[in-house]
Amino acid sequence: MRYDKHFFSLSFCAILIAIGFSLEQNGMHISGITGYFNPFYNSAEAAQLPKKVTAVTHSAKNKGITLVGEGKASYYSDEFHGRKTANGETFNMNKLTAAHPSLPFGTWVRVTNLRNGKDVVVRINDRGPFVKGRIIDLSVHAATELGIIQSGTVKVKLEALGSGNLASSAG
């Protein structure tokens, strides 16, 4: 009987931690640590996390922009055109969309090709990439804008701009 009180306290703490991780998975960020220490990630998901992340940029010029990370970008082949994405949309290779392992659906992301300086704004509507070492999968249209069709992959910088209707042309 004397352990009942401690058991309840431990159970309550475990429930609070689980709720915190659940909120993080659904796009509500309560602290910076849950993105890197999350027991609900499987090893494939954990391998996809960006290796280099910084906090929100505080300059007035870049207000509201968060550097997500740097890493390799690839693009979907046209064989996925017309298939359903993870958020239920039909994938259109001619729209400016992308797949990311953890950013909330609807997030607008500026992707900058670090080799040639070109950038494009895409909307996250799918999960992936599922290849170790890659941080984003782009639509064919976005990959063309960045100039990565020939090479297939390229090192990029990702900046989250927010969610909503920031760039209506991105589809």
What is the DSSP track for the chain? -TTHHHHHHHHHHHHHHHHHHHHHHTT--S-SGGGTS-TTS-HHHHHTS-S----B--SSTTTT-EEEEEEEEEE--GGGTTSB-TTSPBP-TTSSEEE-SSSPTTEEEEEEETTT--EEEEEEEE----STTEEEEE-HHHHHHHT-TTTS-EEEEEEEEEESSS-GGG-
The mean predicted confidence, pLDDT, of the chain is: 74
Q: Is the pLDDT of residue 154 over 90?
A: yes
**pLDDT at residue 94, as a whole number:** 92
Q: What's the predicted TM-score (pTM) here?
A: 0.60
Residue spans of the domains in the chain: they are: 4-35, 50-170
Amino acid in position 121: V
| pLDDT over threshold 50, residue 155 | yes
Q: pLDDT category, 15, cuts 50, 70, 90?
A: confident
pLDDT value of residue 23? 54
CATH 2.40.40.10 fits 50-170, yes or no: yes
- 90 pLDDT exceeds 50? yes
- Residue 43 is predicted with a pLDDT of 42
pLDDT at res. 46: 47
Q: How confident is the model at residue 79 (pLDDT cuts 50, 70, 90)?
A: confident
